[in-house]
Structure 1
Amino acid sequence: MTERTIALVTGANKGIGYEIAAGLGALGWSVGVGARDEERRKAAVERLCAAGVDAFGVPLDVTDDASATAAARLIEEQTGRLDVLVNNAAIAGDMPQEPTRVDPVTIRTVMETNVIGVIRVTNAMMPLLRRSGSPRIVNMSSTLGSLTQQSGAAAEQTTGPVSVAYAPSKTFLNAVTLQYARELSGTNILINAGCPGYVATGLNGFSGVRTPEQGAAIAIRLATLPDDGPTGAFFDDAGVVPW
């Protein structure tokens, strides 16, 4: 009998994270719903289970060391390992974010969740991932974090406001993804960054043009890469995104 694949999705109580959990669950996987809000986490788990997904709640505040450690302990007790980690939790941060007007506290707050939170959770889960036969890490990024697309002629096609907190947090996350890939080179752990596109979520006041289900597709694709798949790369639905 084939072992069921175990995944953890952070920020999975709503939006893209919820749809990633639903999509992975539809594959027959067991999915941990990582979220800090207890009521929303329980509601998401109940909704997923009602849809036939093997879902379980994982209390998780990505900005808190003790919370990440406790989450890893819970998964170890329940499953003994982790096959896939999707780092989806993120915040946009307060406005304004023009460099000349931003409150530095906004930048620190965004980086704490969008970058340091990813490192914190990834490192907490790493011992469990190393027990997997085909571990995968997916970091949910954004093309707004692409320096190539934010500069030169490409910048004329860039959507979104000037942002010195959110967009650079995704650039930083991309760089972090590359450094993990370098360290993990030669192991069976594949780590990549994925852009969901401009999705209508609470992050942007539901102004996006894509559905959360559409946004989840890239994460599901990267979570299910074959053993000879890419690592240390940045993708959206169309293919490779330039750093």
Structure 2
Amino acid sequence: MTDVKTVALVTGANKGLGQETVRRLAGRGWLVLLAARDRGRGEHAADTLAAEGLDVEFVELDVTSEESVAAAVKAVAGRVDHLDVLVNNAGVGGPPLDPADTEAGMLRELYEVNVFGQVRVTHAFLPMLRKSEQPRIVMVSSGLASLTHAGDPTRPESGFLALDYASSKAALNMIVSQYARALPGFKVNAADPGNPATDMNGHTGIHTVAEGAGAIIRLATLDHDGPTGGFFDRNGPVPW
């Protein structure tokens, strides 16, 4: 069993925002478990970062599968005796549909990953997080989840219609609030990465992946005096 000071696990981390988060956290001297559902891609990403001298290991984890998550917990528990940081980064986007054309069934795939998957993974890893002296959970949300921004016609979020994606991230924000109040001693927060250029948006985003990871890194590295139950981008608080 590995004896390390700080251990983090990042889901959906074989590319983009997740992989950059792994790189940045491992660069602090942490052991970072790079979790991804595709074994080949995940192992390649972990090997690439390990070749840079970073302490990164691959963990196979599909957030939509109870069996996969349970196996991942067992695998992690066989390597380390606790988990300090969980970054729930895995997420999917939907097709650009008008809300009036969006059927209920279209929401299920997104909610399975963006909402149910986050709860599934968090619940499964809570026992290991409870063993940490300073447990932190970061949910990767979106500025599109902000009801305040959506209702402000001067904001770009107001003009972006995505009933499935935006509502899934708004639900995730409430989940953050619930966990934060239910888990004393934990730091549980939502991160808004902005609009980084990733596969999810066809690399049309206006921020770099490094910029997008800024809020995640800040929340993953909070000290005892840091906030909990909040929503933040790299510049500070985001209105609900």
Is TM more than 0.5 here?
Answer: yes
Q: CA deviation at 1:38?
A: 1.0
Q: Which amino acid aligns with 1:142?
A: S
Offset at 1:233? Answer: 0.3
Aligned residue type for 1:72: V
Q: Deviations over 1:111-170 (max 9, x none)?
A: 11001100000000000000001110000001100011101xx23322463111001111
Q: Which amino acid in 1 is paired with 2:230?
A: A
Equivalent in 190, 195, 200 of residue 193 of structure 1: 190
Matches of 2:105 and 2:15, distance apart in 1: 26
Which amino acid counterpart does residue 68 of structure 1 have in structure 2? Answer: V
Task: Tell me, in whole angstroms, the C-alpha distance in 1 between the residues paired with 2:227 and 2:136.
Answer: 11
Secondary structure at 1:232's aligned position in 2?
coil
Structure-2 residue corresponding to 1:137: 137
For 2:156, the equivalent position in structure 1 comes to 158
Distance between the aligned counterparts of 1:71 and 1:11, measured in 2? 13
Contact kept, 8 Å, 2:92 with 2:110, in 1: the verdict is: yes
- Residue in structure 1 matched with residue 182 of structure 2 by the alignment: 183
* Partner amino acid, structure 1, of 2:126: M
Question: What's the counterpart of residue 168 of structure 1?
Answer: 167
User: Which residue identity does 2:155 align to in structure 1?
Assistant: Q
| Contact 2:4/2:31 (8 A) holds in 1 | no
> How many residues align structurally?
237
C-alpha distance in 2, partners of 1:191/1:156? 30
SS in 2 for 1:156: coil
Instruction: Please give the per-residue CA displacement for 1:186-215, whole angstroms capped at 9, x wherever unaligned.
Output: x22110001011100011111001111111
Partner residue, 1:221: 218
Return the alpha-carbon distance in structure 2 between the equivalents of residues 3 and 50 of structure 1: 20
Q: Is the 8 A contact 1:59 1:71 kept in 2?
A: yes
| In structure 2, distance between residues paired with 1:146 and 1:155 | 13
TM-score by length of 2: 0.96
CA contact (8 A) 2:46 2:56 kept: yes
Amino acid corresponding to residue 196 of structure 2 in structure 1: V
Provide the C-alpha distance between the structure 2 equivalents of 1:196 and 1:158, rounded to a whole number of angstroms: 15
How far apart, CA to CA, are the structure 2 residues paired with 1:46 and 1:166? 32
The 3-state SS of whatever aligns with 1:137 is strand
Q: What one-letter code is carried by the residue in structure 2 that aligns with 1:17?
A: G
Letter in 1 for 2:76: I
TM-score by length of 1: 0.95
Residue 149 of structure 1 aligns with which residue? 149
Moved more, 122-131 or 160-169: 160-169
* Residue identity opposite 2:210 in structure 1: E
1:24 maps to 25
The structure 1 segments of at least 4 consecutive aligned residues displaced by more than 3 Å after TM superposition are none
In structure 1, stretches of 5+ residues that fail to align are none
- Contact kept? 1:95, 1:102, Cα under 8 Å: no
Please report how far the alpha carbon of residue 238 of structure 1 lies from its aligned counterpart in structure 2 after TM superposition.
1.5
Is the 1:91–1:114 contact (alpha carbons within 8 Å) kept by the matching residues of 2?
A: yes
Distance 2:21 2:96 in 1: 28
The RMSD of aligned alpha carbons is 1.2
Q: Distance in 2 between matches of 1:156 and 1:104?
A: 29
> Which of 227, 232, 242 is the matching residue for 2:229?
232
Q: C-alpha displacement at 1:216, in angstroms? A: 0.9
